[in-house]
Amino acid sequence: MLEYARWKYLLVAAVLLLALLFALPNFFGEDPALQVARKDKTSMSSSAAHEIEDFLRQRNIHFARSYTDAGRLMVRFGNVADQLAARDAVNDKYQTTYITALSFAPRTPELLRVLGMRPMPLGLDLRGGLYLLYQVDVNSAVAQALEGYAQDARRALATANITPKDVTPLGAESAVRVVLPAGTDVTAARAALNQPFQGLAISSQAGPAGTVITGTMTPAQVRERQDYAIQQNITTLRNRVNELGVSEPIVQRQGVDRINVQLPGVQNSAEVKDILGRVATLEFRLEDMQNNAMEAAALGRAPLGSKLYTHTRFGRPVLLKREVIATGDQLTNATTGQSQEGPAVNIRLDARAGENMLKTTRQNLNKRMAVVLIEKRRETSEVNGRKVSRDVTDETVINDATIRGVFSNQFEITGLGAGEARDLALLLRSGSLATVIYPIEERAVGPSLGRENIQKGVTALIVGMTGVFLFMAIYYKIFGLVADAVLLANVILLTALLSMMRASLSLPGIAGIILTVGMAVDANVLIYERIREELRKGVSPQAAIRAGFEKALSAITDSNITTLIAGVVLWVLGTGPIKGFAVVLILGIATSMFTALMGSRAVLTLMYGGRRKIARLSI
C-alpha cells in the first residue's frame, strides 16, 4: 500500500485554498481611479465622501463606484478622460482640504476587499508613470558634518575663554583645522576640543605663528556619514511622495550614491519633480539692530559678526547675526493655517531648539528676528561651447518680525502666499534632505505602453505554460496531467504570495514566473524519471512511486539550493528590476518545492495508494 500522512493532505488542501483566495483579486482587472485624502491626515468620513460624489454628479462627471479604503476615498471611472476631469474639478473646489492622486482601483468584489484581499501592485513598466534617478552629493554631506564640527569647536573654545585665529573645515582632507594664536594654553584648548572633536583623530603642530590643532574624520566615519546622507534622503523622498498622495511609490537606493524613484500612475511630473528635488531648510536668526543694512548693501559687505540677506517679499537688504537660534533640522512638525496676516505655517520645534528659542526671546523682547529659507540647486550653463555645472545656494529672508512676547517651541511664520505656505510646510514636515540631490535621468512611461507590456507578458506566460503542459501531457501521459495541475497550482500559489507581500510585479517579475514554471517542471521530470527507472528494475508500481519521490529529493534539493544562492545574490546586490526578478525567483523556488514534493505526491497517492494491485502506471 502507498500511504501518505493525513495531516499532509490537510496541509496541501489548506495552502491551496488560501492561495486561491489571495490570488483571486488579480483576475478581476482594474479601472482608472482618483484617490482623495484629507490634508490633515484624518480618515475620510462618509458625509465627506458623499459630498465629493454629489459634486462629481453636479459636474456631470461619470464614475462607476466609490468606496473608502484606509481612510481615503477611491473613486473608480470607466475611462481616463473622466478620471482626469474629476481630478481637476476636485482640485479646483477642494484644494485647501484634500489631496488627490491618480491611481488604479481593482474591480475586486466588496467581500474580498473587506477581507483585505488585494491584487499585487504593478511596477512602472506595466502601470505607466514617472521614473526619476537622482545623484546624491555625498561629498557635500561630509562637508556639512565638518561644518558642524567647526561650529561646535568655536562654541567650546568661546566657553573656555579661548579666542582662535581661525577655525576652518577642510573638505578635501575631511578635517577641521583650528589655528591658535601664539601664547595660547594648548593643553586647555585641547581639553576644550575633546568634546566637539569626539571620535576624530586629533593632532597638533606648533609653529612660530601659533599652534594648529586638527581633527580628522576616519575613513569609517566618512563612509558612515555618506551612507547616512543617502538613507536620510531616501526617507525624506518617501515622506514627500506620501505627502503628495502618490499611490504605491518605490523609492530605493541604486548603486553607491544614487536613488531611484518610481511613481506609478503619476502624470503631473512638473509639480512632483519640483517638490522632490528641493533642498530646503530654515534658520532662525536675530536681526542686527546696531548696523545699517542699506549701508552694508551699498558697501557690498556685512559688519563683523553679521551676514547680509535680501527679503524675498520686499526686496530690501536685511542684516542678521551669524549665531543661529534654531534650524529646520530641529523641526518636529509644520502645518499650514490661517492668521490675522494671512496664510501661515505653524512650527513646532524639538526640546533643545525650543529651550534655545525661549532663552533668546526672553532676552531680546522688542528686537527683531528673521526666518531664512536656504535652498540648494545646481545650475548648468554653457561656457566656450561646453556645459558647465555649478552648485548654487540661495539664502533669503522670508519673514522678519518684532519679538512681542516670549515663546519656545510653538509659533507661526507669516508673510507667505497660500501656495508658498503649503509647499514650505510640506518640505519642512517631510524633513530636509541631508544633502543635495541632482536629477540625472527622467523617464515617463505612458499607460498605453504599460498595457501593451502587460499583454505581451501575459501572452508570453500563457504560451510558455501551454508548451510545457502539452509536452508533459504527451510525454508522461496521466502523470503529465498531474504535473500540469501541480504547475498551475504553483503559479496560483506564487501569485498569492506576491499579493500578500504587496510586491510590485514588473516585466522581470513575469520572466521570473515563467522561469519558476520551468524549474517546477524540472522537479517533476526528476521524480518521474526516477519512477520509470524503478519500474524498469521490476519494482512494483506503488513502490516505484515511493522510491521515485525519495530518491529524487536530494537532486531536487541540490539544484534548488544553487538557484536559491543565485537569487539571494541578485536580491542583495541588485537594484530595481533585478531585485524584483530575484524576489519572484526566491519565492518560486519555495512554491515549486512545495507543489512538486508535497502536492504532486498527495495527488498521486490519492490516485494509486488505495489500490491493492496495479498492473501498470500511465507514465
Task: List, for residues 394-450, the tens digit of each pLDDT value.
Answer: 788 877 878 877 777 777 777 667 666 776 776 666 666 777 777 787 776 665 566
Question: Who's near 424: CB < 8 A, 6+ residues apart?
Answer: 280, 334, 345, 373, 398, 413, 416
pLDDT single digits (tens) 324-352 = 888 777 777 777 777 777 777 777 878 87
Secondary structure (3-state) at 314 = coil
Within 502-610, residue ranges assigned H as helices are 507-536, 541-573, 577-594, 600-608
Return the DSSP state at 606. Answer: H
Residue 104 has pLDDT above 80, yes or no: no
Shared domain check, 492 and 408:
no
Query: Considering the domain boundaries, does residue 128 fall inside one?
Result: no
Same domain, 296 and 373: yes
SS3 state at 69: strand
For residue 44, the model assigns a pLDDT of: 82
CATH of the domain at 186: 3.30.980
Q: Residue 246 pLDDT > 70, yes or no?
A: no
Same structural domain, 494 and 586: yes
159 and 103 part of one domain: no
**13 Cα distance to chain centroid:** 37
Indicate whether this model's pTM tops 0.85.
no
Rounded to the nearest 10 degrees, the angle between the axes of helix 418-429 and helix 219-244 is 140
For residue 461, what is its C-alpha cell? 506566460
At which of 189, 204, 222 does a domain end? 222
Q: Are residues 514 and 461 in the same domain?
A: yes
Please report which confidence band the pLDDT of residue 266 belongs to, taking 50, 70 and 90 as the band edges.
Answer: low
pLDDT value at residue 603: 86
Q: Supply the range of the domain harboring residue 66.
A: 29-107
290 alpha-carbon distance from chain centroid: 48
Quick: pLDDT tens for 67-87: 887 677 888 888 878 888 888
Q: Kindly state the cell numbers that stand for 194.
A: 575633546
Residue 1: the pLDDT is: 55
Residue 614: strand, helix, or coil = coil
Whether residue 253 lies inside any domain: the answer is no
Domain shared by 481 and 411, yes or no:
no
User: Is the predicted pLDDT of residue 611 greater than 70, yes or no?
Assistant: no
Does the residue 572 lie in any domain?
yes
Q: Nearest-CA neighbor of 260 among 515, 28, 574, 41? A: 574
User: What type of residue is 364?
Assistant: N
Q: Which of 73-77, 118-122, 462-466, 599-603 has the lowest mean pLDDT?
A: 118-122
What's the mean pLDDT in 159-188? Answer: 83
* Cα torsion angle, 189, 191, 193, 199, sign: positive
Which CATH number goes with the domain that contains 311?
Answer: 3.30.1360.200
The reply to whether 370 and 471 lie within a common domain is no
Do 473 and 572 fall into the same domain? Answer: yes
Same domain, 350 and 486: no
Q: Higher-confidence residue: 304 or 128?
A: 304
Looking at per-residue pLDDT, the higher value among 6 and 442 belongs to 6
Can you give the pLDDT at residue 389? 66
- What tens digit of pLDDT does each residue of 144-155 get? 788 888 888 888
Specify the long-range contacts of residues 151-160, CB closer than 8 Å, at least 24 apart. Answer: 152/195, 152/196, 153/178, 153/193, 153/196, 153/197, 153/215, 155/196, 156/192, 156/193, 156/195, 156/196, 157/189, 157/192, 157/193, 159/192, 160/188, 160/189, 160/191, 160/192
What is the rounded average pLDDT of the residues 369-386? Answer: 74
pLDDT over threshold 60, residue 269: no
- How do residues 194-238 score in pLDDT, each as one tens digit? 888 888 888 888 777 678 888 888 888 888 888 888 888 888 888
Q: E-strand spans in 115-158? A: 129-136
35, 247, 288 from 100: Cα distances, Å = 5, 10, 44
- Give, in degrees to the nearest 5, the angle at Cα 339 between 336 and 343: 45
Phi, psi (rounded to 5 degrees) for 228: -60, -45
Q: Decide if 243 is inside a domain.
A: no
Q: Is residue 230 part of a domain?
A: no
For 182-257, where are the E strands, in sequence order? 201-207, 210-216, 250-254
- How much is the mean pLDDT over the chain? 80
CB distance 336 to 97 below 8 Å: no
**167, 468 contact by CB (below 8 A):** no
Return the minimum-mean-pLDDT range out of 51-60, 131-140, 433-442: 433-442
Query: Do residues 349 and 368 both lie within one domain?
Result: yes
**Does a structural domain hold residue 421?**
no
Mean pLDDT for 172-195 is 84
Is residue 250 domain-resident? no
Mean pLDDT for 101-113 is: 77
What value does the mean pLDDT take over residues 7-15?
Answer: 88
DSSP calls for 390-429: EEEEEEEEEEEEE--S---SEEEE-S--HHHHHHHHHHHH
**Partners of residue 104 on adjacent β-strands:** 32
Tell me: pLDDT of 241 over 80.
Answer: no
The torsion angles phi and psi of 576, rounded to 5 degrees, stand at 55, -125
Same domain, 479 and 595: yes
- pLDDT digits over 539-592, tens only? 888 888 888 888 888 888 888 888 889 888 988 887 667 887 888 889 988 898
Residue 305's SS3 state is coil
Structural domain total, the chain: 4
CATH number of the domain that residue 539 is part of = 1.20.1640.10
Q: Which residues pair with 30 in a beta bridge?
A: 106
Neighbours of 367 (CB within 10 A): 14
The verdict on 596 and 466 lying in the same domain is yes
511 lies in a domain? yes
191: pLDDT strictly greater than 80:
yes
